[in-house]
């Protein structure tokens, strides 16, 4: 039987070291014994952006980027998108198993009970300028929630953690919708606890003068599916931020604010907005070949909504969203003309040597913006719509970190490239 170890020879000293391999991985700390002399600090690894470093063991989400597989707790995401509700998936992510009927009813009851926010949050929102970006307001107001729940600091108390997780899942749609309403100069709408999670969010966004706003059930279902598809994606930039902040034992409201701030960036949750702007710029399918040429010769930047750090195959979420787009367009009665541009872009890219060679396929952001646009949701809200469901994933990652005995406060090393020690020079001599 082969031995589960790795032998490393340090050619500087001629010494060999044998380090154990567990889960196809060696421990970075096992390299520290590799030294040229006693005074040497020991060998480290250099891995900017963690491209080849596992920072945790996780049982939440599995991705096989080459095969285009995404599973939450073992369940394929397309299976969940077709059969489950978002709250069922949120419960699955944070509890580890699909809830039975009673458990789901209880989970939904708890979430529904916590949809309202303290009235003072209104004044926080009122303090923003009329044109404030809703994502900036969401990041700030979720952070402000930590001041309303000081007991949330008890992060090692399982019961307190559970309560904060329910509150966060429940209140994110309220904060998100209120941020949107403020940016539109419209009165804030309170939660309607008779509605489902997604239906209530649509009501808080869209209700005007009608006593009750009930969106078309297929639109509610479509939003629920989009929420499911965005619920978690293992150790991405925002999940890593959540874990990093959580590792200092900060309260979960502050940690979610940090994770949402990471999501705000255009290389992460902001890409769907860029896709939409790109499709608008192309304008019509006949202009696609010319545009593709400019991408390949480097004059138009990147094809937004294409390519992914881990998927080197069709993003499984994009497949589901593409089908969903048709359904939504049928219901709203408007076929977004940009869909034709998107389909033509995809057709050409999937045949083109440049994209095939680099394994560049449509990602989750390629079609989602078209659906949001059909629902008359402005582009500034796209990252906000991503943050609502991703909160469930962030919280699952956060709790897993806190109960993991291997984890400590996150604190990477550096390779110092600055000056060696030097003496202060008085300003008159400089
Ligand atoms: N259009 C054209 N060429 C591309 C693209 C693209 N969208 N993406 C990668 N490439 C090329 C890149 O130029 C490079 O070519 P070469 O080897 O000739 O230099 C090669 O493919 C490898 O690219 P990379 O930059 O090493 O890949 P990465 O894993 O660092 O980047 C990415 C991943 C998502 C940042 C990148 O594909 C990209 O910028 N895509 C467009 C933005 C986008 O759609 N982002 C949403 C990601 S999904 C949502 C989320 O999870 O947050």
> 308 CA to middle of ligand 1, Å?
6
Of all protein residues, the one whose alpha carbon is nearest to atom 20 of ligand 1 is 358
Give the pLDDT score at 336. Answer: 76
Range of weakest confidence among 103-112, 355-364, 415-424: 355-364
Average pLDDT over residues 134-160: 98
For the CA of 366, the nearest atom of ligand 1: 44
> How far is Cα of residue 175 from the mean position of the Cα atoms in its chain?
17
Nearest CA to ligand 1 atom 32: 308
Regarding the beta carbon of 295 and ligand 1, being less than 6 Å apart is answered yes
Q: Is 365 a catalytic residue?
A: yes
63 lines ligand 1 (CB under 6 A): no
Spatial neighbors of 335 by CB under 8 A, at least 6 apart, are: 329
Does the Cβ of 364 fall within 6 Å of ligand 1? yes
pLDDT tens-digit readout, 283-305? 999 999 999 999 999 998 899 99
How many angstroms separate the first and last alpha carbons of the chain?
68
| Residue 323: other Cβ atoms inside 10 A | 13
What structural domains does the chain harbor? 1-45 (no CATH), 65-405 (1.10.580.10)
Let me know if 308 is a catalytic residue: yes
Stated pTM of the model: 0.93
pLDDT in tens, 77-118: 999 999 999 999 999 999 999 999 999 999 999 999 999 999
pLDDT tens per residue across span 14-53: 999 999 999 999 999 999 999 999 999 999 999 999 999 9
Q: State phi, psi for 358 to the nearest 5 degrees.
A: -90, 5
Weakest mean pLDDT among 28-32, 38-42, 136-140, 338-342:
338-342
308 lines ligand 1 (CB under 6 A): yes
**Residue of 260, 263, 307, 367 best suited for mutating to test ligand 1, as the one with most atoms within 8 Å of CB:** 307
Closest CA to 191 of 116, 79, 136: 116
- Whether the CB of 256 sits within 6 Å of ligand 1: no
Confidence of residue 309 (pLDDT cuts 50, 70, 90): confident
Q: Identify the band that residue 9 occupies on the pLDDT scale cut at 50, 70 and 90.
A: very high
Does residue 406 have an active-site annotation? no
Span 245-291, pLDDT tens digits: 999 999 999 999 999 999 999 888 888 888 998 999 999 999 999 99
The confidence band for 1, taking pLDDT boundaries of 50, 70 and 90, is: low
> What pLDDT does 199 receive?
98
User: Of all residues in the chain, what percent carry a pLDDT higher than 90?
Assistant: 85
On the question of pLDDT at 334 being above 80, the answer is no
pLDDT for residue 278 = 92
Rounded CA-CA distance 62/232 in Å is: 10
Q: What is the model's pLDDT at position 148?
A: 98
268 lines ligand 1 (CB under 6 A): yes
Q: How high is the pLDDT of residue 273?
A: 83
Q: Label the pairing between strands 15-20 and 5-10.
A: antiparallel
| Chain segment 168-200, per-residue pLDDT in tens | 999 999 999 999 999 999 999 999 999 999 999
């Amino acid at each position: 039987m082969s031995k589960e170890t790795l032998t490393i020879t340090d050619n500087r000293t001629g010494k060999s070291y044998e380090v154990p391999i567990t889960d196809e991985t060696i421990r970075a700390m096992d390299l520290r014994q590799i030294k040229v002399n006693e005074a040497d600090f020991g060998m480290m690894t250099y891995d900017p952006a963690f491209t080849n470093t596992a920072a945790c063991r996780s049982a939440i989400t599995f991705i096989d980027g080459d095969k285009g597989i995404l599973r939450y707790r073992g369940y394929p995401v397309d299976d969940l998108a077709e059969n489950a509700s978002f709250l069922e998936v949120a419960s699955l992510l944070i509890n580890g198993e699909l809830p039975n009927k009673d458990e789901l009813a209880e989970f939904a009851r708890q979430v529904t009970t916590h949809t309202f926010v303290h009235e003072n949050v209104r004044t926080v929102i009122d303090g923003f300028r009329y044109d404030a970006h809703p994502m900036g307001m969401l990041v700030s107001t979720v952070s402000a929630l930590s001041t309303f729940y000081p007991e949330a600091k008890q992060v090692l108390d399982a019961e307190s953690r559970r309560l904060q997780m329910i509150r966060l899942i429940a209140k994110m749609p309220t904060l998100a919708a209120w941020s949107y309403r403020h940016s539109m100069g419209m009165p804030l709408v309170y939660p309607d606890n008779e509605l489902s999670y997604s239906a209530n969010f649509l009501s808080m966004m869209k209700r005007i003068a009608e006593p009750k706003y009930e969106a078309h059930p297929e639109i509610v279902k479509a939003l629920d599916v989009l929420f499911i598809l965005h619920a978690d994606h293992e150790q991405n930039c925002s999940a890593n931020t959540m874990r990093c902040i959580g590792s200092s034992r900060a309260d979960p409201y502050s940690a979610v604010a940090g994770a949402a701030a990471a999501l705000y960036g255009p290389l992460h949750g902001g890409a769907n907005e860029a896709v939409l702007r790109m499709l608008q710029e192309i304008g019509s399918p006949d202009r696609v070949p010319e545009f593709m040429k400019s991408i390949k010769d480097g004059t138009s930047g990147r094809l937004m909504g294409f390519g992914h750090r881990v998927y080197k195959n069709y993003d499984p979420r994009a497949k589901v969203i593409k089908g969903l787009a048709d359904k939504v367009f049928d219901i709203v009665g408007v076929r977004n003309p940009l869909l034709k541009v998107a389909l033509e872009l995809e057709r050409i890219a999937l045949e083109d040597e440049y994209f095939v060679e680099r394994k560049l396929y449509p990602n989750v952001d390629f079609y989602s913006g078209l659906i949001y646009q059909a629902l008359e949701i402005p582009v500034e809200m796209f990252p906000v719509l991503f943050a609502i469901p991703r909160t469930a994933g962030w919280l699952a990652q956060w709790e897993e970190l806190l109960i993991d005995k291997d984890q400590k406060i996150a604190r990477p090393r550096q390779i110092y490239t600055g000056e060696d020690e030097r003496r202060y020079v008085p300003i008159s001599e400089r």
